[in-house]
Amino acid sequence: MKKSYALALSTALLATAALPAHADKLDDIIESGKLRCAVTLDFPPMGFRDDKNQPAGFDVDYCNDLAKILGVDAEVVETPFPDRIPALVSGRADVIVASTSDTLERAKTVGMTVPYFAFQMVVLTREDTGIDSYDDLKGRPVGNTTGTYEAIALEEDVKKWGEGSFRAYQTQNDTILAVAQGHVDATVVTNTVAASTLKSGKYKGLKIAGDAPYVIDYVSLAAGRSEYGLLNYLNLFVNQQVRTGRYAELYEKWVGGTPVNLTVPGVYY
């Protein structure tokens, strides 16, 4: 029995040793010399195209920082909000750097890091709607961008109210344009988008009508759910961005003011 067991164990060990080693996605990225980041480019100041039609914004710089520390070239893969996770799952992108809320539902499909940014939600409406707070949205036609945290929350509230209507749009620009042109009366966007929209002067007659009563929207980087080596590296990268002051530097550059605290009392320190 002992000889048979030893022979079986030896055979199993030899078979295991003969199996090809599985390279982690982190190794693949380094060896390829290129980091492909899924970034949404209609979400200023996080991601947008500048006056030369080049990708720019906080998320673009964050992707470039990650590529630099890895010693590879950065490639921005433009992805609308609904296409962020499909781009990663299909292999068109290596990492999502696109202000992606860290929901438990998304974590069933992709691996998510500790937060690298956080948003407060506000109501964006026209000056002539008479809307001055979130409560004033009840019974009104409202809209938002498909696949976003604020769209999910707003649509759920419209259903709870039992009055008014909700319309979904494919891009952030489409949503804001719908408000400006009167197709819907209001939307809920991040404080960064609202400030950037008003500052641009592109849409006349818009205003911010107070905060939306949503929890702070913490957003994460995302990679393949089983790519533990890459996810561990990304978590450390986010940590380093904060403690070296780079997070504060990028926040000042693209948003202005004091950076939003990324810690969650009792959870992240």
Report which DSSP code applies to 38: E
Scanning the structure block, which residue is given the tokens 């002539």? 128
d(Cα 164, Cα 137) in Å, to the nearest integer?
A: 8
d(Cα 49, Cα 118) in Å, to the nearest integer?
A: 22
Contact (CB, 8 A) for 113 and 235: yes
Assess whether the previous peptide bond of 86 is cis (omega < 30° from 0): no
d(Cα 205, Cα 58) in Å, to the nearest integer?
A: 27
pLDDT for res 13: 47
Sequence spans of domains, the chain: 22-118+217-254, 121-211
d(Cα 192, Cα 119) in Å, to the nearest integer?
A: 8
pLDDT for res 258: 85
A 10 A CB-CB count for 205 gives 12
Q: Which CATH architecture has domain 22-118+217-254?
A: 3-Layer(aba) Sandwich (3.40)
- To which CATH superfamily is domain 121-211 assigned? Periplasmic binding protein-like II (3.40.190.10)
- The residue ranges of the chain whose pLDDT is under 50 are 1-2, 5-6, 8-9, 12-13, 16, 18-19
Is 22-118+217-254's fold the same as 121-211's? yes
pLDDT for res 199: 84
The one-letter code for the residue type at 150 is E
